Structure 1
Amino acid sequence: MMNILNKILKRYGDIYHPHKQVMESLKINKYLYIVLILIVIEGLLGQYMLYLNKDIWGIIFLLFYGMTIAIGSIFHFKYVEKKFGSLEEFDLEKMNKFVKLVDQEVKIDLTNKEQNQIINQMILEKLERENIKEQKKRAFTGGIFTVLLIPILLPFIIENNQDILILTVIIMLVGIAIIFFSFKSILKDYSLKYKLERISDMLKEILIFSLRDKSL
């Protein structure tokens, strides 16, 4: 069963992975290449001017950098709306691609009510397990902080109260290590949880659209 879920997650990545979406956007709108080139040039020039201590020019180029991103994003959304009718139609087309991929590669028809609900139940169970894992990781991180940090710091606190610098550095290093590993775990969990939550929402949308079409 988990193998089926993993295959569906891969099919989701085939359509909705950030790299795939960027490449699809470039394929739809060739003008984005010009926008990307401008963004790179302005960003590099801004950093270079700041490096040369030409702060005013650096700020100007970085402002242009931000404006190009904002204007380019608005232009792209308008272009997509013009080509597909609306952003909703564009999202619907991608969702249909996802349904077809799952049907072809996993042999599951997400427009079928029974199959759709079974997959959604699997996703919800996976989400519940991920939430339990996240709670355990938080408890583990808190335990490491308590068990390791306090014994390391006590000798410095008791024997030599003047070594504030050493004490501060140790606290900082341990804190950075904890934040780094926690942040890394959170990002990984968030990515998986986000995909599972998004797929669950999509399954409901797919079922609604399929039931609506059958009733027409």
Structure 2
Amino acid sequence: MKNDFDFLLASCIHDMKNAISLIMNSIDHLNEDCKKDTRKHLANLNYEASRLNNDLIHLLGVYRLQKDHLHVVIDEHDIWEIINEQHLKNQPLLQKYNLELTINGEEEEMWYFDPDLVASIINNIIVNTVRYTNSKIQINIKHENDYLCVEICDDGKGYPKEMMQNPGQKSDSIDFRSGSTKLGLYFASQIAEMHKNRDRTGYIELRNGGELGGGIFRLLLP
């Protein structure tokens, strides 16, 4: 019975994720032929669909983690290219909210990591940052103490103190004001920790300040 439930849960998540992807594609097509006021409503709908899609991806990822079915496939990849792909993927969403996204870092910045899992982390943070930034998102690629560091910064109000203390901690509570379960941060933390190099392990951090003065999500990979 338990195996049947596990199979049903995984199948339902896949079906819901595919359905949301179709909805998002339909929104993009509708946006081309509608009036300005309607486009604003479609932008909100597209944003919420993107968030829901990310939540389902993380739910499926955490499920696979618990079942030991999620494995990292680490090889050498260009982190700038991965980030730019997520930028282009979210360009329609950024344009609808009049947000500017810039990438600071060298092209062809090669590092060892799982491209699909790292891309899912970056995509999730970009989509969430759309809600909290004012006008700008800045992604920095740099090296820090022999780690590859990817920073996603905004010019919003920053992260709450309680969230910054243990950003990857599993939480049973829900912020009913924002609807946040911190599932994305937990998933990002778990993925980062699956990246290891000798005695060093990947991790995430949350900070406030920086060049834009808002929140800073940091992904560090050994």
What's the TM-score, normalizing by structure 1?
0.28
Asked which structure has the greater RCO (Cα within 8 Å, sep 6+), the reply is: 1
More strand by share: 2
More helix by share: 1
Larger radius of gyration: 1
